[in-house]
Amino acid sequence: MFSVVNKELLEGFLYNVELFTITLLLSLPLGLIVAFGSMSKFAPLKVLTRGFVWAIRGTPLMLQLFVVMYMPGLVFGWQIPGSNPRMTAAVIAFVINYSCYFSEIYRGGIESIPKGQYEAGQVLGMTKTQTFFRVVLLQVVKNIVPPMSNEIMTLIKDTSLSNVIAVTEIIMAANAFSGKGLIWPLFYTGIFFLLFCGILTIVFNKIEKKLDYFKS
Amino acid sequence: MAILEVKDIKKSFGKTEVLKGVSFSLNEGEVLSIIGSSGSGKTTLLRCINFLETADSGLITVDGDVIFDGADKSKKNAKETREKQLKIGLVFQQFNLFPQYNVLDNVTLAVKLQAKERPDYKQNKKQILAEIEEKALKLLADMGLSEKIHNYPCELSGGQQQRVSIARAMALEPKILFFDEPTSALDPELTGEILKVIRELAKTNMTMVIVTHEMTFAKEVSDYIVFMDNGVIAEEGKAQELISNPKTERLQAFLSKISD
């Protein structure tokens, strides 16, 4: 029995890890773009971006999953393509949601860099792009590692929410057993998340240590 | 001929007029100190000359080239502005070193980025980079920092950090070096080492403009002193004379307050 449960749960957890990985890969760069939008000097873009971020952060991710899953079909009569449209819908909802959260972390990080760093770059004849990528960015990264690690730990746990649109992730797999009268697999899923977060903690500690050589 | 000419610079922030028409000029190899109480506009003046603020009107010429013309309202080309920027260097009150680079890289970063734009960069890359490094090492040696080239700014004292930032500004070979209260962020026992460095630079005929509160130092190191008060130059003249024999009441009042 144990090996059957293990296999099923592991298969389910692969969905969690897949959703986690794709979301992370897409929303980390996308979040930076959203952050630039929300700091834009062009007022309409800034207002629009901040409004969008407010709407996404102000509504439940679960609701957003439903919207992405059912809106295209209900309103436009359009089906999400692909072999696993539910997973695709989950990825879209997660990427949008996490890009907005990341964008606020980026914005905080970027705004925490003293103006003097930009001014030093300028008087040394560096372009704005050079100053950002050569001087500011690594300091931002250092500043945002703690809040980012928080958010990324939340992400792996949030992936379970995708079961509301019937992505067969780990908790859904475990729930199938409890339907058959077997309750312990449900609690056992916790181990998977704990182990995963344990690895994340180690990785983030490494990154923090690595950036310890300077103080900004 | 004057290497720096500043004509009728005006600058307001909102309704507050910070600079009400400031003009002065400076010859090559000379040192000018700008003194005055806080809020007199001296730092704003420095920032206007260094493109950190845009003056509302006026004219600034460096070595015969107009680097700022308030009458010219056309959109400035970023590349041209950068080239003009490189004619002058600025040392900040708060050093503003780049924390993630070691001392040597702080000094060479901008120079290396500059070098990339040279047409012969690709062919002579190694040689160019070696030359840049060699020059930086020499500058750092002059600043007494040879031992510290691999240290990071957070491992240095304030005085050492400020010396790195002077080397960093010098590495771009500016025609004029500006200092914005270079010792104000330092403990009193550390100001001496920075003043010594500036004194040495003055001996090499480096043209410098120094905003400072160190009156004795200003009198000793500079050729000319400009006293700013309330957005205008209230008095200017040869350093010794101006400090020993102030003519205006405002400067007399300022100097007596300082010596208290």
How confident is the model over B199-233, as pLDDT tens digits? 999 999 999 999 988 888 888 889 999 999 999 99
Interface of A with B (CB under 8 A): 114, 116-117, 119-128, 130, 134-135, 138-139, 142, 213-216
* Residue in chain B nearest A131 by alpha carbon: B110
The parent domain of residue B189 ranges over: 2-87+174-259
pLDDT of residue B260: 59
- State how far the Cα of B82 lies from the Cα of B87, in Å rounded to an integer: 9
Quote the tokens at residue B33. 């100190």
* Residue in chain B nearest A140 by alpha carbon: B100
Domain membership of residue B105 (yes or no) is no
What is the ipTM score, two decimals? Answer: 0.91
Domain membership of residue B141 (yes or no) is no
Domain membership of residue A94 (yes or no) is yes
Domain membership of residue B147 (yes or no) is no
| B2: helix, strand or coil | strand
| B34: helix, strand or coil | strand
B98 close to A (CB below 8 A): yes
Q: Are B195 and B217 in contact (CB under 8 A)?
A: yes
Domain membership of residue B168 (yes or no) is no
Domain membership of residue B59 (yes or no) is yes
Domain membership of residue B160 (yes or no) is no
Domain membership of residue A131 (yes or no) is no
* B52 pLDDT above the threshold of 70: yes
The parent domain of residue A30 ranges over: 2-113+144-213
Test mutation, A123, A130, A213, chain B, max B CBs within 10 A: A123
* B240 pLDDT above the threshold of 90: no
pLDDT of residue A73: 86
Give the CATH number, domain containing residue A201. 1.10.3720.10
Q: Are A159 and A169 in contact (CB under 8 A)?
A: yes
pLDDT of residue B188: 82
* B76 pLDDT above the threshold of 80: no
Q: Is the dihedral of CA B154, B158, B159, B164 positive or negative?
A: positive
Give the CATH number, domain containing residue B187. 3.40.50.300
Profile chain A (216 residues) by mean pLDDT over runs of 10 residues.
88 95 96 95 96 97 94 86 88 96 96 95 93 94 94 96 91 91 93 96 95 88
Domain membership of residue A123 (yes or no) is no
- State how far the Cα of B117 lies from the Cα of B131, in Å rounded to an integer: 16
If one counts the domains in chain A, the total is: 1
- State how far the Cα of A126 lies from the Cα of A113, in Å rounded to an integer: 17
Domain membership of residue A96 (yes or no) is yes
Of B98, B110, B152, Cβ closest to residue A125:
B110
Confidence of residue B190 (pLDDT cuts 50, 70, 90): confident
Domain membership of residue B152 (yes or no) is no
Residue range A140-180, pLDDT digits in tens: 999 999 999 999 999 999 999 999 998 889 999 999 999 88
If one counts the domains in chain B, the total is: 1
Domain membership of residue A122 (yes or no) is no
Q: What is the mean pLDDT of residues B140-145?
A: 92
Asked if A124 and B51 come within 8 Å (Cβ–Cβ), the reply is no
Host H or E run for residue B221: helix B215-221
State residue B23 phi and psi, 5-degree precision: -135, 135
Domain membership of residue B161 (yes or no) is no
Domain membership of residue A120 (yes or no) is no
| Distance between A126 CA and the closest CA of chain B, angstroms | 6
The total of other beta-carbon atoms located within 10 Å of residue B115's CB is 17
Expressed in angstroms, the distance from the first to the final Cα of chain B is 39
State residue B89 phi and psi, 5-degree precision: -120, 155
Domain membership of residue A125 (yes or no) is no
